[in-house]
Amino acid sequence: MGKKPLIVLNFKTYTEGMGENAVKMAKYCEEVSADSGVKIIAVPQAPDIYRVACSVKIPVFAQHIDGVVAGSHTGHITADCVRSAGATGTLINHSERRLLLADIDSAIQSARRSELITIVCTNNVAVTLAVATFAPEFVAIEPPELIGSGIPVSKADPDIVRGSVSAVKRIQPDVEVLCGAGISRGDDVAAALELGAAGVLLASGIIRAKDPKAALIDLVGNI
């Protein structure tokens, strides 16, 4: 049995993953992770980080942080604050929360100072190569046109995954590559691993499923 994949579940701003529903969704992640031995990270909205982190033992990540320090930055989200709320990592530059390259760099540096693990999202191989130079822990390649489509990137565009893995491994061998967009089934995860990804980043296939826990069990079942 090869190395188990990492599953990162982004709750986005879906009502099915908000408030008390965020706690419920995170508990499903915790139960399936405990039963399968597959690491699952819950990624709720910022205001829900504390209540989720108090309710589960699995890692809880923020969906975004700003590369600002303590002080007069109204409306920003600091690495220190999400850390103190119980997050142990964060997404950066998600397709739905795009940053300039300089902002990605300052967000990674800020995350590092607060000992947050970083997953930097990218939309193509060139951007993957660019952000890999900042040596985040993870890069997550997600073609925007497949996000929410239910068409898994690992099958619809395998070359973007393969290309991202080889590009990253050329310059930063320690950076792991995840892939996302349209992932919902265990065989989508198996296909991603075949392409050299270390795991997947996903949302609607689980969050909006009729039975999210059953969807999670299927997701980790075929690995």
Whether the CB-CB separation of 92 and 119 falls below 8 Å is answered with yes
- Interface residue with ligand G3P among 147, 161, 168, 175 (CB under 6 A) is 147
Among residues 177, 204, 220, 223, the one that binds ligand G3P under rule CB under 6 A: 204
Among the residue ranges 28-36, 127-135, 195-203, 215-223, the one whose residues contact ligand G3P (CB under 6 A): 195-203
Stretch that binds ligand G3P, among 51-59, 72-80, 127-135, 196-204 (CB under 6 A): 196-204
Closest distance to ligand G3P from the beta carbon of 72 (Å): 31
From the list 29-37, 129-137, 165-173, 176-184, the region that binds ligand G3P by CB under 6 A is 176-184
Task: Tell me the CB-side half-sphere exposure of residue 94, using CA atoms within 13 A.
Answer: 22
Burial class (CB in 10 A: 0-12, 13-18, 19+), 75: exposed
Of 16, 115, 142, 194, the catalytic one is 142
Report whether 41 contacts 28 (CB < 8 A).
no
Rank residues 127 and 181 by Cβ distance to ligand G3P and give the closer one. 181
Q: Which of 183, 191, 193, 215 binds ligand G3P (CB under 6 A)?
A: 183
Based on the shown chain and the rule CB under 6 A, indicate whether residue 186 belongs to the binding site for ligand G3P: no
- Residues sharing a CB contact under 8 Å with residue 111, sequence separation 6 or more, in sequence order: 65, 79, 89, 90, 92, 117, 118
> For residue 90, what are its two tokens?
């964060």
Q: Give me the active site residues, please.
A: 94, 142
